[in-house]
Amino acid sequence: MLVQFYNVTKVYTNGVKALNDVSLKIERGEFIFLMGPSGAGKSTFIKMLFREELPTQGQIFISSRSIVRMKRREVPHLRRSMGVVFQDFKLLENKTVVENIAFAMKVVGLGNREIAARTAEVINMVGLKGKEDSFPGQLSGGEQQRVGIARAIANRPLLLIADEPSGNLDMVTAEGIMELLYNINRKGTTVIMATHARELVRDAGKRIITLEAGQVVSDLCTLE
């Protein structure tokens, strides 16, 4: 079991109850859509996974380890087992594509040779060959998100987390990004993706967890 939520409730300091008694389990290798209207609590759920926010009540286990009871200095190790993709990409504007990706590996202490090899590999995988030395400002939105995804998978995470990764992209570009995520999942990485775009999810044949007002209102598999 990769992810376990037990009766997780999150109340922000301003009193907003973003998650309300959420319990669920996610197996290794799954592809999960986290659906729900804006304000349903999707981003809050996502932030709990990499411990940007802690639950007000309840327990969360990642690979059978409680991240609630985890010590502060253990958090970096938790996060190294995950890759995160953001709606606004969060690329460093003053670094090239290669540097943006290498940065993630440098941070966790990989050697230069390993970094160069893996950078080439993921750039190939997300289809950005030839753009290595471009700056984010010189790339289209779809290309920028591919850099974001490359950065997220460079450290070979167990779990890839994406919060509205195609939220800023047009439909065709979004479908390209979805293909990429399916590919990554096929190679064994668990993927959790939050989105409110039904058209991306409808015929995917993946497990869909729907949140509404902080509660899980449905959790089912659609047909392929």
Partner 1 sequence: MILKNFGYFLKEALISLSRNRVLSLATVTTMAVCIFFLGVAVLLTVNAGNFMNQLESDIEIIAYLDDPLTDEELKDVETDIQSTAGVQEVTFVSKEEALQRLQEKFSQEDYDLQQTLGKNPLPNSFEIKALNPQEVAQVAQAIGDIPGIYKVNYGQGLVEKLFQVTKWVRILSMVFMVILALGAIFLIATTIRLAVFSRRKEIYLMKLIGATDWFIRWPFFIEGIMMGLIGALIAIGLLAGGYTSLINSAQTALFFIPLVSQQNFLVQVYMGLVAVGAVLGIIGTYISLNRFLNV
Ligand X SMILES: Nc1ncnc2c1ncn2[C@@H]1O[C@H](COP(=O)(O)OP(=O)(O)O)[C@@H](O)[C@H]1O
User: How far is Cα of residue 40 from the mean position of the Cα atoms in its chain?
Assistant: 17
* Residues in contact with 98: Cβ distance below 8 Å, sequence separation at least 6, in sequence order: 119, 123, 132, 133
Region binding ligand X by CB under 6 A among candidate stretches 32-40, 68-76, 131-139, 201-209: 32-40
| Residue 12 binds ligand X (CB under 6 A) | yes
Contact present, 58 and 83 (Cβ < 8 Å): no
Count of residues touching ligand X (by CB under 6 A): 12
Query: Which residue, 77 or 202, has its beta carbon nearer to partner 1?
Result: 77
Beta carbons within 10 angstroms of residue 186's beta carbon: 11
Binding mask 142-181 for partner 1 (x = CB under 8 A): -------------x--------------------------
| Residue 41 binds ligand X (CB under 6 A) | yes
* Single residue of 2, 8, 18, 85 touching ligand X by CB under 6 A: 18
What's the burial of 184, exposed, middle or buried (CB within 10 Å: 0-12/13-18/19+)?
buried
* Residues in contact with 174: Cβ distance below 8 Å, sequence separation at least 6, in sequence order: 166, 197, 200
In whole angstroms, what is the distance from residue 114 CA to residue 123 CA? 14
Region binding ligand X by CB under 6 A among candidate stretches 38-46, 67-75, 108-116, 172-180: 38-46
Name the site residues for partner 1 (rule: CB under 8 A): 50, 52, 73, 75-80, 84, 90, 92, 94, 103-104, 106-109, 155
Residues that bind ligand X in the complex, under the rule CB under 6 A = 12, 14, 16, 18, 36, 38-44
